[in-house]
Homo-oligomer: A and B are copies of this chain.
Amino acid sequence: VTASLPKGFAASGIASGIKADGSLDLALIATSPVSAVNCAAVFTQNLAPAAPVQLSRRHLEASGGRVGAVVINSGCANAATGSQGLAAAERMAALTSSQLGLETHHVLVCSTGVIGRELPIERIESGVPVLCRGLESSGAGLARAARAIMTTDTREKLASARLSSGAHVAAIAKGAAMLAPNMATMLALLMTDAEIPKDQLQISLGEAVDRSFNELSIDGCTSTNDTVIALASGMASVGGPLEGGELTAAFTAVCKDLAHQMAADAEGGTKVVRVVVTGAVDDESAGIAARRVADANLVKCSWYGADPNWGRIVSELATAKTAFDPDRVEVSYGPFIVCRSGVAEPHDEAALAAYLKGPEIEVRCALGLGEGSGEILSADLTHAYIDENMGLS
């Protein structure tokens, strides 16, 4: 998997020794040549935000949304680590900024990994100079950065898009569990060489996140560290600032691509499941109902077993605390309607069984109440998810 970097960016990824197995664990995305550029960000709504989230929020405020580099470690979330954790995040930013010749508040920090453990700052102190020397503007640098932010991900996640002006968007992300509501519960970095006013950058990023990562739920858990950052170098500008709608569309496409990659790489997941609710009283209710279905363990287990147990789906729709009429609901798996007007609908059982065994299935729930619609991208709950999460990690 490769994607080229937009103009004005360089990337790097190294193994600093935070991860015991010696795999890549320190990543850097920097402007090239180094300078502070327009930046937008969306952070977790978790009320115990990790130290790097606290620090990055503060730096964005201090810098007025101008950022020159983002340094990221995997293998340790630096969350629930108190004032010592905050000092470690500050040190990580300071080391990077001094290496690159930036003011400290122009550097953002992300961390991902186990909560409640101290960041091994000495590894980062020896790693950051190597990391900065390794910066390169090729796709190989970006691919290494994408690998260095992985935790339980089995593959790196990159996406890109071209804008009509010739400008370019590229992005990397990580996330395989603790993926759920209200902000992505993952890390993602978007880079574009388009020239974008700061306010528009934030608007486009917010809309893209709402329609991608916020429609993704693997296990209903919202992490302490989730961060999506967008940087705009402006170096591809040809005829002035880009039209906002085009940027939003490009960001949304890239974020949806990454969200799908995350669902496909969900911890232990064997299939991607799209839950679509239509006919709700409004879009918000539809989204809540879709999430209720997608997060229900009994439903997720049935997906794993390719069991067409639509009764569990109806039961979840009916406990989503949104309007529901059991006599109007229709449930379909892909093209197969299995429940109509709230009761079983005859269907081709062999064909449905084959469909449910596929790598990607769609569950459609038509509530028959109004025009609201919403969807959630999810995965099944499997033995391998248990394996992944029952051990010390």
Chain A interface residues toward B at CB < 8 A = 45-49, 77, 79-82, 84-85, 114-118, 177-178, 182, 219-224, 295-298, 301-302, 304-305, 307, 309-312, 314-319, 324, 326-327, 329, 339, 341-344, 381-383, 385-386, 388-393
Contact = CB atoms under 8 A, between A and B. Distances in A.
Contact of A312 (B115, B343, B385): B115
Contacts of A324: 47-48
Contacts of A315: 46, 48, 79, 115, 178, 221-224
27 contacts: A46-B319, A47-B318, A48-B314, A48-B318, A49-B326, A79-B315, A80-B311, A80-B314, A115-B311, A115-B315, A116-B339, A178-B315, A182-B319, A221-B297, A221-B316, A222-B315, A223-B315, A224-B311, A297-B389, A301-B390, A304-B386, A307-B392, A307-B393, A309-B392, A382-B386, A383-B386, A386-B386
A230 to B, nearest CB: 24
A297 B385 contact: yes
A333 to B, nearest CB: 13
B392 A381 contact: no
B48 A317 contact: yes
The A contact surface, by secondary structure, is loop
Given A48-B324, A178-B298, A304-B386, 13 more contacts: A45-B319, A80-B314, A82-B343, A85-B343, A115-B314, A116-B309, A182-B319, A221-B297, A221-B319, A307-B392, A309-B392, A383-B383, A383-B386
A315 B318 CA distance: 28
B81 A343 contact: yes
B319 A222 contact: yes
A221 B48 contact: no
A339 B118 CA distance: 13
A49 B79 CA distance: 43
Contacts of A343: 80-82, 84-85, 116
A270 to B, nearest CB: 10
Nearest to A317: B48
A46 B318 contact: yes
A367 to B, nearest CB: 11
Contacts of A222: 315, 319
A224 B339 CA distance: 16
Nearest to A295: B220
B82 A327 contact: yes
A339 B295 CA distance: 28
Residue in A114, A301, A305, A315 with the greatest tally of chain B CB atoms within 10 Å: A315
Contact of A307 (B80, B84, B305, B391): B391
Given A116-B344, A117-B344, A297-B219, A326 B80 contact: yes
9 tightest CB-CB pairs across the interface, nearest first? Answer: A115-B311, A305-B390, A116-B311, A48-B318, A301-B389, A48-B326, A47-B318, A82-B343, A47-B324
A246 to B, nearest CB: 34
Contacts of A224: 311, 314-315, 318
Nearest to A382: B386
